[in-house]
Amino acid sequence: MADYKQTIYERLYLKVPGTDKLRKTAAARLKHLLANGWRELDRDQKADHLEVRLERTGHAPLSARLPRPPEERQERRRGPRMNGGGPRGGGGPRRR
């Protein structure tokens, strides 16, 4: 069986352009990804952000959703509606 590999590229913004200090949300996002099994492979410094390449391996996801079993069709009884639901909607108290 082949090895399944996921790769994502994240853009993490810096507090001050040209430094290495990440913003709070960017630092938390990177920490979250690393804790969930992603590995950092490459880091590219740009003017106001870092482009980080992350990768993880695991089981291949299902290629398609499994079909739902056919629903048993229920016969709907048509009768007088309560609350006067007609073609205009209606349903609340009548106005004079």
Average pLDDT for residues 30-48, to the nearest whole number? 94
Higher pLDDT, 77 or 45: 45
Are residues 12 and 29 in contact, defined by beta-carbon separation less than 8 angstroms?
yes
- What is the edge-to-edge ordering of all strands in the sheet holding 39-45? 4-13, 49-58, 39-45
Are residues 11 and 53 in contact, defined by beta-carbon separation less than 8 angstroms?
no
Supply the DSSP symbol for 14. Answer: B
- Give this prediction's pTM: 0.60
Average pLDDT for residues 13-40, to the nearest whole number? 94
Supply the pLDDT for residue 37.
92
pLDDT at 85 over 60: no
Quick: pLDDT tens for 46-56: 999 999 999 99
Supply the pLDDT for residue 7.
94
pLDDT at 41 over 80: yes
Are residues 85 and 91 in contact, defined by beta-carbon separation less than 8 angstroms?
yes
Supply the pLDDT for residue 3.
78
How far apart are alpha carbons 14 and 61 in whole angstroms?
A: 34
